[in-house]
Structure 1
């Protein structure tokens, strides 16, 4: 059976769990060597070891704060030195610090914008230095349906909307070098982050999921593998003519509620 990512190296930021880990698992199953990136280096190395054992691929775990230039440049240098190339970058690292504007601190705003937007910029800039000479690359940014507006998430919604403009513009700049840039915008996905949100709002996670599922056309909430499969398609040869697109992975047509 042909493996769609054979010979490729994939780096996913924020990938010790959730969507990021599911994406790397999917790509490793498809033949890629993978890089797990996270603030927690021990957790990154543990996830890499699990993927390597499961799929028999090379897997590298790297500690990196994606908002720091020196961390990002050092990470990409390490990837090229250890694995020989870099073909796929998925900008997935993120966090939430939800609040209404009158309660939102400077740090709440700055940290969310820094990780999501500055992080994507730094990682894409470092990756393209490798991808342009190769004349090949795939960059996938993880946005969100919150980009369309979500009460209490001014910082997060702004960052995720910014990633959509970032995606479209970078696609125009890099397309001529054989590099495509696209984004996925997940809706409600059952992850550790959404479980924490449920508890913060005073719900048990299962009750919160059931409530959210009522407003989703397919009648269920998403799981990380739903998003991972879409990212994997955009990172594959099959998507070579898909560029500058935002794909909503939300179980239905996305309009503002």
Structure 2
């Protein structure tokens, strides 16, 4: 514990948050002399620079005060070449792997039935309350949601399986299963389950979350390289398995 908190210096969440804000100001991404106290006085503080992040290259646009941020302004307004093979905004990719896959141009393909032949598809995304699991167990954040992992399901799908809002359900496929509380959401399309990421493993019974049913399929053209902008970095988490429309079903526990 002493090593984790630097001998108790960061045992207090208030002190830790203040240190994070001050470090951001020193790194140049927030205005100079920004602290947690000044943050609270102003209500919000705009970023002033991207800092050292690969996202700066993909955004390629300055952060200006009182202006809505739009990507690619460096390319459009300043004539900075795109980091592509032809140095322009490129859609056609004549890489032999893309040609073999029939994806030299942007095209739609139905998702493979990852996980088995089941009627529902699991999709994900970032939770509105948190981004990473280290935030979900924060005492303040715990008070802004139901306090445990949930999965959003369509009311008709829930009714067909005799599931009510708040019931514990088991989501399963050929690979595995995990328990989670059902949240009935009319905004979720029939045949869909939404399981946002960021929940900590300790919040699930048995420490098993949505990753238990992800087959881990990686698209093979994701390994293509040596072609302009097709040079993947570890900080961009590519290529990785996708949790987009994993086939599954659920039942009441």
TM-score (norm 1): 0.25
Q: In proportion to residue count, which structure has more helix? A: 1
Computing the radius of gyration from Cα coordinates, the structure with the larger value is 2
TM-score by length of 2: 0.25
